Amino acid sequence: MPLKIGIVGARGLSTVLAFQSMPETRVVALCDLNQDLLEEQSKKHNIPKTYRIFEDMLESDIDAVVIATPMQCHVPQAIQALEAGKHVLSEVTAGVTMDELWWLIECVEKYKKVYMMAENYCYIPENQLILNMVRQGLFGEVYFGEGEYLHDIKNLAVYPNGKTSWRKFWQLGKRGAFYPTHSIGPIMQWFQGDRIKWVISVGCGWHTAPEFRQEDTSITLCKMESGKLIKIRVDCISERPHNMNYYSLQGTKGCYEAARGLGDKPKIWLKDMDDNTDNAKWRPLMEEFYEYLPDRYKNATEDQKKAGHWGADYFIVQDFVDAVLNGTKPPIDVYDACEWTAVGLLSELSVMNGGRAMEMPDFRKSSSMDDKIIKI
């Protein structure tokens, strides 16, 4: 019998094509409060059952839930799904408060169901290629990385019908790196086995749209337990072209930079490619290092590529399904999800306290209430 999937959030259907292209799964239910949108999307994607009440969908015979609702709904709905015995694939971020992250971990550990965060930027082909090269030691010891999410979303603060959007509050109404996981996720996978120790964040002030609490640009530094460093920039206010998936990586044997735009390409340089760094020249990543792209990306079908986000949406679903059916560890488990999400929550505290360093709790090793205190 195929896994029966229910999706909550009819505006967030990035995974539906992937699920529908797999023989192991069937999308059988869709839930949303907006009746018109619910009917429209269920017909478009041939989803047989619809629900306006989330609890009603949980009482059906579905096996897993995809949570694609606004950020502030993710943890409450994940907890309800886990309590109902359903596996959970949640869109980013994992939650919106530090307390929520602890509640989520406690429920995943208690109910023993698969929880995975759908951070699809980790699955972008270039990022998977770099991860494979890191694992094979081509960059030597990796010690610095950066990610940027530059995406003007001011227009999303209001729905087309004129009503205020949730983004006005939970995104543009927050300070610091409110949306960190697209930027931090791939780099954390490149920094294999390391964890974030401190978060430091500063903002540039309010210039473009002072009606929002979110500053034009926020810079966040993550000091790792190993002493290494990650820098992320989140800018959802500035008037500029989008660049939502810029990354760089520096190691002892070479470096990588993603494309910046205007015909730029992802590029790489490794030690001994040139006589010295004075004469060093970038090489195009995909053309000269394509052999390091994981085989499933090389052999991806057209349907898999159409799933969305450069094929990322298919493979993240594939890994979730594999975790459910075969008991494999989710590549982005609840502990990863909480640490990456907490970067944004701690950055808000940091920026409002003059850039003070905020200590990251160790979500994997917390055993007492003292381990769960946010120290200021």
Q: How would you write 6-69 as a 3-class SS string?
A: EEECCCCCCCHHHHHCCCCEEEEEEECCCHHHHHHHHHHCCCCEEECCHHHHHCCCCCEEEECC
Q: For residue 312, name the pLDDT band (cuts at 50, 70, 90).
A: confident
pLDDT in tens, 131-180: 999 999 999 999 999 999 999 999 999 999 999 999 999 999 999 999 99
DSSP state letters, 105-163: HHHHHHH---EEE--GGGGSHHHHHHHHHHHTTTT-SEEEEEEEEE---GGGGB-TTSP
pLDDT in tens, 72-129: 999 999 999 999 999 999 999 999 999 999 999 999 999 999 999 999 999 999 999 9
Output the pLDDT for position 218: 98
**All domains in the chain, ordered by first residue:** 3-119 (3.40.50.720), 120-294+333-376 (3.30.360.10)
Output the pLDDT for position 3: 98
Output the pLDDT for position 65: 98
Pairing type for strands 283-284 and 229-235 reads: unpaired
Sheet containing 115-117: give its strands across.
49-51, 25-31, 3-8, 64-67, 87-90, 115-117
How many C-beta neighbours within 10 Å does residue 146 have? 21
Task: Output the average pLDDT for the chain.
Answer: 96
User: Which segment of 176-190, 241-255, 298-312, 352-366 scores lowest on mean pLDDT?
Assistant: 298-312
- Residue 12 confidence (pLDDT) above 90: no
Output the pLDDT for position 374: 87
pLDDT in tens, 255-298: 999 999 999 999 999 999 999 999 999 999 999 999 999 999 99
User: Which segment of 144-148, 240-244, 268-272, 362-366 scores lowest on mean pLDDT?
Assistant: 362-366
The values of phi and psi at residue 179, to 5°, are: -130, 70
Output the pLDDT for position 367: 78
Output the pLDDT for position 261: 92
Output the pLDDT for position 307: 86
- Residue 320 confidence (pLDDT) above 80: yes
The values of phi and psi at residue 331, to 5°, are: -60, -30
Closest CA to 101 of 76, 82, 69: 76
Q: For residue 193, name the pLDDT band (cuts at 50, 70, 90).
A: very high
Output the pLDDT for position 368: 87
Q: For residue 356, name the pLDDT band (cuts at 50, 70, 90).
A: very high
348 torsion bin: left (phi>0), alpha (psi -120 to 50), beta (else): alpha
Q: For residue 181, name the pLDDT band (cuts at 50, 70, 90).
A: very high
Query: In the chain, what percentage of residues exceed pLDDT 70?
Result: 100
pLDDT in tens, 43-76: 999 999 999 999 999 999 999 999 999 999 999 9
E strand or H helix that includes residue 224 = strand 218-224
E strand or H helix that includes residue 267 = strand 267-270
Q: For residue 376, name the pLDDT band (cuts at 50, 70, 90).
A: confident
Q: Characterize 180-201 residue by residue with b for buried, 16 or more Cβ atoms within 10 angstroms of its Cβ, and e for exposed.
A: bbbbbbbbbbbbeebbbbbbbb
